[in-house]
Structure formats: C-alpha cells, structure tokens
Structure 1
Amino acid sequence: MSELPVLASERLVLRPHRLADFERLAAMWSHPVVVTHFGGKPFNREDSWNRLLRYAGHWQLMGYGMWAVTRPGEDVHLGDVGFLHGERSGVAPFGCPEAAWAFHPEAQGQGYASEAVACALEWADTRFDRTVAMINPGNAASIGVARRCGFAIYGEATYRAEPVGLWERPRPA
C-alpha cells in the first residue's frame, strides 16, 4: 500500500497511528468517561492492542481507516478519528464507510472532535458518496459533532443490547 495520508486542520494533525501511541490509546479506551457511550465498560490492554491493529489493518485492507489526532509540534495522541468498516451482529451493513471518533477527556470540550471530523470528511469527500455514523442516543457531544459536520439521523438500531442512532452524510454536491 502507498504511504498513508497525513491531514492537517487549523489546530490539529491527523496522522497514521504508531506503536508509540499504544500507551495513550490504551489509557484513553480504559477511561470511564470515554467508554460511557461505548458499552460503559473500560477496555483492557488486550482490547486496545487489538484496536490499534484493527486501525492499521483497515488501511491495508480497505484503503481507509482511523488517524491519530495530535496538535502540530506536540505529537501526543489526543484521540482517534476516521473511517471503518464494521461487521456487526444485529446491524445491517451500511454499504459505505462509517465515521468514528473518540478523544481523551482532557481533549474534549475544545472543538477538536468537530475540527478533526470535518478534516477527515474533506478527505472522504474525494472518495466516498456517503458516510454514516452510529451514535448512542445519550451521547449529546457526539450528536453535536455529527450535526455540525453535516450528518442527519436516518434510522435506529440495537447494537449489543443498546439503542444506537444511525446517521448519514452524503457527499456535498
């Protein structure tokens, strides 16, 4: 596969994940605030390791994936943003990439998620006709990000015994 893309917005850099990101990634996914709307149970190190490998594998197999979000010149993992293909039990396939994002608690509430998602969507708009997002209806912050980035709800589903909203964003004309 060719070199993976690095994107930049006004305050952020979106770059491929590195092995050096693992400790921060594991800390983020084990934090109760982060996992509140992802089933509520903190992920262990093995789960986080598998997540990091899944991120790398998406780029290899699908040609798209997740980026590590950092600030220019700092290279400290603030969160994950990008696109994935999930084969989930109980949720019909979307037929297009799914947008996803999560940030460390100290990086929340600063507009980073909206900025990073918008940056990733600019990249996606050159490749995909549509993107979707699956969001827990209690996750007001992520719903706000989705709305600010042009997503609209189009349905509901149940995933792992929890309700989820299905959001979509067609590529702008």
Structure 2
Amino acid sequence: MTVLSLPIPVIETKRLILRAPHGSDLKPLAEFFTTERSHMVGGPRDAAGAWDSLVARLGHWSLHGFGLWHITDKATQAFVGWTGIIFAPGWQEPELGWAVFEQAEGKGIASEAASAARRYGAMHQGHDGVISYIRPTNARSRALAQKLGATLETLGDLRGTPCEIWRHPKLEAAA
C-alpha cells in the first residue's frame, strides 16, 4: 500500500503536538462524533460521517495548503481534539476553529493549541486577523475566543445555522 505524504507542518508547544490527522485517529473521532458534545462542530455523526470528516481534513490540506491539525497531548500521547484554519463553501473567509474531547476540557489545551495554530497561520500561511464562527450557546468557545483576544464582530449565519462571528486581532496588533 502506498501512503501519500502531505506537507502538513508539525507544531510543538510546551504540552502539545499539533500534527496531521492519522488513520488511527478514526476510532476516537468516531466516538466523539457519536456524542451530543459534537453538535457544536457538525455532529452527531455515525462512523461513516466520522470517516468523511477525517478524509476531508486531509483533502483540505491538499487543496488549500492549510487546515486542521490534530492535537496530541505530549504527556499521554492521546489524540485529544483539533484546531486550525479552515475555509469551506459557505464560509465568508478563513476561520480559526477548535474542538477538544471531554478529557481535555478545562486544562488550557484548547487555548494552547488554538494560539499556536493562529500564530502559525499568521506567520506562515497569510491568515492574520482571522474569524471564528461560534454558536451563541457555546459559552466555552466564546470564552476561549475572548481569551485569545477576539471580539464579537457581528451576528451571522453559517450554512443555515445562526452564529456569532468573532474577529481575532492581527498578531502585530496583539504584540
């Protein structure tokens, strides 16, 4: 079997590794998508829907040269969520997105990972001052956006779902 290798950069932070999605991520991804917790990021989905999500992430990198990294906790080597910049049909502009699994919540993992992804996107991919689409009921993501310095720009709609559009500051403005 030939494995295609995409040029997906690896980012390391103090506690995390942001890396390309792997086939071994399918099981935890499918488990996450079967829970109600996934409704903020397009779930729930069945196993086939989780597969579609996994391969779409790789396709996004291939088509755009940027995308979602899977987050690995250095201490446990566990896949604990994802973050990165995505731009799909229906998006007004590229978005900084994130999601972490239940075991990673409340530990600063989402903040550490999203900060690293935002910095890399601004410095290496031309995505500075990006937005985040956040459902009004997603208090945790709203709090993280604020922690990252984002401000509520407007109310909007993403593929028929009401959302808030949060604007992240440009890195030079945040420094």
Same-fold call, TM cutoff 0.5 = yes
CA distance in 2, matches of 1:3, 1:159: 29
TM-score of the aligned structures, taking structure 2 as reference length: 0.87
Deviation at 1:68, TM superposition (A): 0.8
- Deviation by residue 1:133-172 (Cα, 9 ceiling, x = unmatched): 1000111100111111121111111345532001111422
Moved beyond 4 Å, runs of 4+: none
CA distance in 1, matches of 2:37, 2:68: 21
Query: Would the alpha carbon gap of residues 47 and 153 (structure 1) be closer, same or farther in structure 2, given more than 3 Å must change?
Result: same
SS of equivalent residue, structure 1 residue 130: coil
Percent of residue pairs identical: 28
Whether 1:10 aligns to 2:14 is yes
Supply the RMSD in Å over aligned alpha carbons: 1.8
- Deviation by residue 1:41-100 (Cα, 9 ceiling, x = unmatched): 511111111111110011111010101101115332100111111212xxxx423x2111
Which among 86, 102, 105 is matched to residue 105 of structure 1? 102
Query: 1:64 maps to which residue?
Result: 66
CA distance in 1, matches of 2:134, 2:63: 25
Equivalent runs, 1:113-132 vs 2, <5 Å: 113-126=110-123, 127-132=126-131
Q: Higher relative contact order at CA 8 Å, sep ≥6: structure 1 or structure 2? A: 1
TM-score of the aligned structures, taking structure 1 as reference length: 0.88
Equivalent runs, 1:32-47 vs 2, <5 Å: 32-35=36-39, 37-38=40-41, 42-47=44-49
Higher helix share: 2
Deviation at 1:18, TM superposition (A): 0.5
Q: Does the CA-based 8 Å contact 2:119-2:171 persist in structure 1? A: no
Equivalent runs, 1:23-38 vs 2, <5 Å: 23-35=27-39, 37-38=40-41
